[in-house]
Structure 1
Amino acid sequence: MGFVGRDKVKGCISGIVSKRERLRELSYAGREVSTRENLEVEFSGLLREIDDLVGNLQSAMRQEDLDLRTWQKNFAIVYDDRWSLGAEEIRGPLIPFLRGNLEPILRVVVAPDLPENVVALFLTIPSLKELLKRENHGHWGYHYHYLDAHGRRSDTLLTFERQLKTLSDGKKVKVVTWERHSESSHFAARAASWGANKRESVYEACVGDSAKRNLNDFKKPTKDAQALWPV
């Protein structure tokens, strides 16, 4: 596929690739680059810019008569699926609690719900095709990994229920849940066997860190998630 004379299309693609690479650099740099808040601000800005460039690319494709119908062989791959430009994570400073630490993580999906004609265009260009990822919904947002006192990662992930819980005294509180994740880990946390003191300590650490966020910003608990506190 040639782009001779299609400067708007080339410019949009170049901008998307450049900003996507910057997101990856920030993800690898992690919390050592700057404060967590500053890192998240730059992340959010890059995500918005990529979304804008995707919209501009769509407009440029219409102007240049680059239409999905030109590549019917790619339509079967795109149809009835949802695509993005992958996902990245940024990690915050460790949060200590009773005999352990929480590692706060923000996982973001880059350019979710890519338009079909943009996906079809990227599929024709090998260097861009590798950026495309089928979306795995439910695995984005803020969450916490449980680490032991030595910084080893466990098999346990913590997040919040989307709704507050009403206690017997009428007070409404957040609910922290735990679940096992599929990423590499060094030990089993066995959260189901934790006593009340440890559960409360983890709960207070999570709630304290969540004060500036909405519950909908957090990763949605899976169907197998269990309440950590209150129970």
Structure 2
Amino acid sequence: MRPLIKTEGGKEYVLRFKPATQIAHLFLLVGMTISFITGLPMFFKFGEVNIFEGLGAALGLPAPHTSSQLISILHDWVGPILMLIGVLIVLAASDKRAGLREITKFGEALRVFKEVAEYRLGRRKEYPPTPFYHPFQVMWVWGVILGLLLLGVSGLFLVVEKWFYMQILPPWWRGFMSLLHIFGAFIFYVALPIHFIMSIFPTNWPMLKSQLLAKGYVPIEWWMAHHKAYVEEVKKRGGP
């Protein structure tokens, strides 16, 4: 088990990503991208032939519906399965009790959000001590959870009916599930980019570098600047 704090080359580092979490990020990223790219032509009914026809033929899918078949396979099976694997890895590798506790500290999140706003507006001299999750992170975590739940539940019914020719739902309910699927996709694909945008801010490059290089540890200076309350909590647990 990796220590929460380690010293290397005279510098202190705090663990941000477990190896399993980094692998899960990869599964989620690839699955999310596949589902998004294939979902657009399915929803807007454009580019199915131009974008996917050649690839479908190269994979040996029977004509004349190679593009639509490939889109369906990728969107209904490949993308969701990859994301499911990523979610299962996160659940298996994470401290679920601690994680749930962190994302349900709504009062603390609101307080920190207010203090950060005061700091940005010049009404506060120092950046407030922030826990493991920044208030914006709490927002996108719940957005991702809600979006995935809506996508998963509605998608399960739609895929079963589509691929196994089972009329589980009445027509009006099928339409409702389709709307839920679209709504879930909107929430998910709005919430998740916030996560990526936050990671590419120059102030967060140490964390991004840690993720890209699969190191898992981020310099303690970054932690003290962004999540001071969490570092103080880690040190109280006993340090390295």
**What is the TM-score normalised by the length of structure 1?**
0.35
Higher relative strand content: 1
Higher relative helix content: 2
**What is the TM-score normalised by the length of structure 2?**
0.34
